[in-house]
A and B are shown apart, each in its own frame.
Chain A
Amino acid sequence: MLGKQMMCGAALLLMAGQARAETIEDKVAVCAGCHGEAGKPIDKTIPTIWGQQAGYLYIQLRDFKRGDRKSEIMQPIATQFERDDMLAIAEYFSQKPWPDLGQPRAPKDVAAKALSASASVGCPACHLDRFQGDGTVPRLAGMGRDYLAKTIADFRTRARGNNPGMSDLMIATSPDDLAALVEYLAGL
């Protein structure tokens, strides 16, 4: 895993200059280094961005640039983009097909536990039916398991600082329930 991440970082160093390129394809070329050539991230802790909601992708790029969301890799990349670039990149990836990561469905008891936890804090009110997301709210169905686990953990510690409302909801939910949610969402 470490090896892949180093490769991802090295690829970015080589390709970062292309963020200033003219065409959208040139602008997004840098992204494939980590998020994958065909939408499958090269590492399990990296999120799927193919088929993700455009509003969500834009807000994340904006927040990386502002420093509201921390990432040594993403921050220098996002800093090079203006708002229109970010919107165009977000739209570009939102139109790509969501990749099938081949993650197994959660067993029934785990799914039931996950849905009880989801109902308790009201996940579908924003993530919508079947966790498809919309607008600035991300799709979670079929997202990489390790990324989901890491993100939820980071929300709980507020290391992921660009959505304190999500942190509040994750803090109010038990680690057991969150583990079930991760398994359930990854398998959708």
Chain B
Amino acid sequence: MYVKGLAAFAAAVGVGLLSGAAIAQEVKQEKQSVLGNANVPPVTQEQLNAADKNAKDFLLTNGNYAQTRFYPGKQISRDNVKNLHVAWIFQTDVKESLETSPIVVDGVMYVTTSFSHVYALDAKTGQQLWHYAHKMGPITVYCCGPNNRGVQVLGDRVYLATLDSKLMALNAKTGEVVWTTNIADPELGYSETMAPTVVKDKVLIGTNGGEYGIRGFVRAYDAKTGKQLWNFNTIPENSVGVWATKDATGRDMHRNIQAEKDMLAKIGDPYAKLGGGVWQNPSVDLATNRIYFVVGNPSPDLDGSNRPGDNLYTNSLVSLDLDTGKYVCHFQYIAHDVWDLDAVSPTVLVDVKDKGGKTIPGVIHAGKTGHIYVHDRKDCSLIRFSEAMVPQENMWVLPTKEGARMLPGANGGVEWSPIATDPGQELAYAINLHQPMTYHVESTAYPNGKLWLGGAFKVIPSEKQSGNITAVNYNTGKIKWQVKTPEPMIGGILATAGGLVFTGEGNGKFAAYNSSSGKELWSFRAGAGVNAPPSSYMVGGKQYVVVGAGGNVQLDFKRGNNIIAFTLD
């Protein structure tokens, strides 16, 4: 996954008035950790298992192990959401993109910022309880900003993955470091921006680096010691596959299979530097002991000439056994991708209708292509795909040196932004981008851990960009409603039992919509881009909705450093 920018002209031009030193300090403050004493009970595995029914806490990145982002509380409803107001604002020390999913445990909130800082806050007042300021190593390599998407809590430990590719356990009460494990070498292009998933004393983590010629993985580490338990390479040693000529929707991808076969005979399987990052948390099926996640793009992004074959398991849904990390099944959306239209938004486990109308355990994923894909959880097979949520034009024209126009642009569709679902309405809610782009190809050899795009994706400045919030019935594939937004959308969305969905925009708007109709019921202007997934929780008998407003580096939305909690009177 690699992303492109959108200008914030006025803000950036104004920068020239400030001195260089002052600017540097404002963007990235070098703060020391502040230890504290958060009065928080240990989180048990049983609590995590039942997170989907718990309206008091928000325990997992996407709400629960199924990753539905459906919050079961309904104190804030369609009738009263108009009275929602700010309860508190917490300002972090780092003014750069906020992608954090706030985690709430018994009135204590954990949020993260860019550059891998962690804060524990009083969820009722916003008061800081402790602050872990990660001492970053000198080598960090990332494609899409120094982001961090959050932490996870199990027992009395908070688990964090850092930009310089370390996995850490912090004391949940004090913020002290309990253990640190090196995940991979940043000098070779590895970095971490995702939140870990903790389950059954394991910490699950993927890796970034698909723009740097890494070999991707998902790993499990021992939650108590940090010792690695298993490793699954997202790129198998036989990455060639079945020479698929059509994508998941049946469209021809214009591959030159003979040329690829000739190259395979010449250079062998390209698995060692083939990319395949994993950007978001896996969903966990507690009943079958399996995990489901999606794998990102092959390296280099746009140049397929030196990576013959389907490039398994890039751009794929993959399922593994939780205890062993052994492969169970996969489904590839786009074989031999040369557009970076990869799979990054987290998977969601819901019951779905199969092709015969029978209800079965399903897994769904929203793609950068703009489709929501619905799979059979048993074998990963595709049941259906939704109507396109964004314009699609000229698919799959091959990139050229001069640039070939194709929609969607390389950011999607749906970027890393998690979707939400409301199983009662059989709806999935996704936020989308519409960014017309040209795709350019250049061919170079592996550059030893440096940026390796194999070309460029260019936003077409003269073409209008936009975004949308789309509700899709995942049992029919039909769009139920769609709200257009003036700018491309990135961040995330939350559905609640109060009949609402909450999501934010790059222009600072944060709003609640009727989850059945898309009618806007309430909004707030945050003053910086709201490009993070919201969470909800209860404390002192009151429901709160919380979201980060820090803007977004990928789309150059106005930066800020606010965590904002809302409640009713």
A and B bound?
A: yes
> Do A134 and B140 touch across chains, with their CB atoms under 8 A apart?
yes
Chain B residues contacting A124 (CB-CB under 8 Å) are 5, 553, 556
Decide: A125 and B554 in contact? CB cutoff 8 A.
Answer: yes
Complex: A54 Cα to B139 Cα, angstroms: 8
Q: Give the CA-CA distance A47 to B460 in the complex, in Å.
A: 32
Which chain B residue has the least Cβ–Cβ distance from A136?
Answer: B141
Given contacts A163-B447, A163-B450, contact A128 B456 (CB under 8 A): no
Contact across chains for B139 and A55 when beta carbons are under 8 A apart: yes
A188 vs B16: C-alpha distance when bound (angstroms): 5
Asked whether A125 lies within 8 Å of B143 as measured between CB atoms, the reply is: yes
* A171 lies within 8 A of B146 (CB): no
- B444 neighbours in A (Cβ, 8 Å): 158, 164, 167-168
Once bound together, how far apart are the Cα atoms of A144 and B559, in whole Å? 27
Which B residues lie within 8 Å of A158 (CB)? 444
CB pair A168 B554 closer than 8 Å: no
Least Cβ–Cβ distance between B118 and chain A, in angstroms: 19
Contacts of B454 in A (CB 8 A): 168
Inside 8 A of B360's CB, which chain A residues have their CB? Answer: none
- From residue 101 to 116 of chain A, which have CB atoms closer than 8 A to chain B? 105-106, 108, 111-112, 115-116
Q: A128-B27, A165-B211 are in contact. Are A172 and B553 (CB under 8 A)?
A: no
Q: Is the CB of A115 within 8 A of B13?
A: yes
**Which residues of the other chain, B, contact A125 by a CB distance below 8 angstroms?**
2-5, 143-145, 553-554
A141→B145 CA distance, assembly (Å): 17
Interface residues of B in 532-569 (CB under 8 A from A): 553-554, 556, 559
| B173 interface residue per 8 A CB criterion | no
Inter-subunit contact B24/A168 (CB<8 Å): no
Q: Indicate if the CB atoms of A58 and B452 lie closer than 8 Å.
A: no
Q: In the complex, what residue of chain A is closest to B454 when comparing beta carbons?
A: A168
Q: Looking at chain A, what size class is its interface with the partner chain?
A: 35 or more
Question: Across the interface, do B13 and A169 meet the contact criterion of CB distance under 8 Å?
Answer: no
Q: CA separation between A182 and B3, bound complex, in Å?
A: 22
Supposing A128-B553, A172-B455 touch, asked if A116 and B138 sit within 8 A by C-beta, the answer is: no
The complex places the Cα of A91 from the Cα of B135 at a distance, in Å, of 14
Quick one: which of A116, A171, A172 has the most chain B CB within 10 A?
Answer: A172
Cβ-neighbour of B9 out of A115, A167, A171 (below 8 A): A115
Are the CB atoms of B144 and A187 closer together than 8 Å? no
Closest to A104 in B: B16
Set of chain B residues within 8 Å of A136, measured between Cβ atoms: 139-141
Contact check, B146 vs A134: say whether CB atoms are below 8 A apart.
Answer: yes
B contact residues around A162 at 8 Å (CB): 447, 450
Whether A172 contacts B447 in the complex (CB less than 8 A), given A54-B138, A98-B20, comes out as: no
Task: Give, as a whole number of angstroms, the nearest-CB distance from B459 to chain A.
Answer: 5
With a 10 A CB-CB cut-off, give which of A111, A116, A118, A126 has the most chain B CB atoms: A126
Q: Which residue of A lies closest to B16 (CB)?
A: A105
In the complex, which range does the number of interface residues on chain B fall in? Answer: 35 or more
Given A125-B144, A165-B453, A172-B456, residue A135 in contact with residue B136 (CB < 8 A): yes
Q: Is the interface of B mostly helix, strand, loop or mixed?
A: loop
Do residues B144 and A120 form an inter-chain contact, with CB atoms below 8 A?
no
Contact A164/B9 with A51-B20, A141-B23 known, Cβ cut-off 8 Å: no
Count chain A CB atoms within 10 A of each CB in B138, B145, B452 and give the residue with the most. Answer: B138
Confirm or deny: B7 has a beta carbon within 8 angstroms of a beta carbon on chain A. Answer: yes
Whether A68 sits at the interface, judged by CB under 8 Å, is yes
- Chain B 459-508 interface residues, beta-carbon cutoff 8 Å to A: 459-461
Across the two chains, which residue of chain A brings its CB closest to B447?
Answer: A164
Report whether B5 and A122 are in contact in the complex, using a CB–CB cutoff of 8 Å.
Answer: yes
- A164-B447, A168-B440 known; A119 and B556 CB under 8 Å? yes
Interface residues of B in 8-26 (CB under 8 A from A): 9, 12-13, 15-16, 19-21, 23-24
Residue pair A120, B447 in contact (C-beta under 8 Å)? no
B448 in contact (CB, < 8 A): yes
From 80 to 134 in chain A, residues with beta carbon under 8 angstroms from any chain B beta carbon are 87, 90-91, 97-98, 100, 105-106, 108, 111-112, 115-116, 118-126, 128-130, 132, 134
Q: A55-B139, A134-B28 are in contact. Are A164 and B452 (CB under 8 A)?
A: yes
Residues in B with CB closer than 8 Å to A187 are 16
In the complex, A171→B440 CA distance in Å?
A: 10
- CA–CA, A132 to B553, complex, Å? 12
Q: Does B422 contact A (CB under 8 A)?
A: no
B442 touches A121 (CB 8 A): no
Q: Report the minimal beta-carbon distance from B70 to chain A, rounded to whole angstroms.
A: 31
* Complex Cα spacing A51 to B24, Å: 10
Question: What are the residues of chain A within 8 A of B388 when measuring CB–CB?
Answer: none
* One of B4, B7, B403 near A115 (C-beta < 8 A): B7
Q: Is B336 an interface residue (CB 8 A)?
A: no
Apart from A121-B458, A122-B2, A122-B457, what are 5 other A-B pairs with CB-CB below 8 Å?
A112-B9, A124-B556, A126-B451, A132-B27, A136-B140
Give the A-binding residues of B (Cβ under 8 A): 2-7, 9, 12-13, 15-16, 19-21, 23-24, 27-28, 96, 115, 136, 138-146, 163, 211, 403, 440, 442, 444-445, 447-448, 450-461, 553-554, 556, 559
